[in-house]
């Protein structure tokens, strides 16, 4: 059984991962992309994430969020790529995460309607 403090840490960690993703999506999809702003925000949220001890997540969605955070940080540290190349790489990853999340949501809605039709 998980203690209450562990649960709160887990929820806080998951919310920070989602905050990191949403913040990244917002900045990456802007037409006038500002690399410095993206780097500053990413580092700010990343530091908050690192303050929390590593928490094991079982969901594929949250594992993909963890991988995205690590990919983002390694991409920001990579000096060989230009800002636009970094943006396109990260946008591709963000779109894949959104696609997987939306696919799961649509699947649930589809089955929900099928259950109602059967009765």
* Nearest to 21, CA basis, from 109, 100, 90: 90
- Rounded CA separation 94/22 (Å): 9
Which tens digit of pLDDT belongs to each residue from 35-81?
A: 999 999 999 999 999 988 778 888 888 899 999 999 999 998 988 88
- Rounded CA separation 59/81 (Å): 31
Residue 109: is its pLDDT beyond 80?
Answer: no
What is the number of other CB atoms lying within 10 angstroms of the CB of residue 45? 19
> Where are the chain's structural domains?
4-118
Which tens digit of pLDDT belongs to each residue from 11-48?
A: 899 999 999 999 999 998 888 888 999 999 999 999 99
């Amino acid at each position: 059984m998980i203690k209450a403090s562990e649960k709160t840490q887990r929820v806080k960690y998951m919310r920070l991962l989602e905050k990191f993703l949403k913040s990244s999506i917002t900045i990456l999809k802007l037409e006038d992309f500002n690399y410095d702003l993206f780097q500053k925000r990413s580092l700010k949220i990343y530091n908050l994430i690192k303050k929390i001890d590593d928490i094991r997540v079982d969901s594929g969605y949250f594992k993909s969020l963890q991988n995205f955070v690590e990919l983002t940080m390694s991409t920001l540290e990579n000096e060989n790529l230009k800002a636009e190349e970094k943006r396109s790489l990260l946008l591709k990853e963000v779109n894949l995460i959104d696609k997987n999340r939306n696919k799961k949501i649509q699947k649930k809605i589809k089955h929900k309607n099928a259950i109602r039709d059967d009765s």
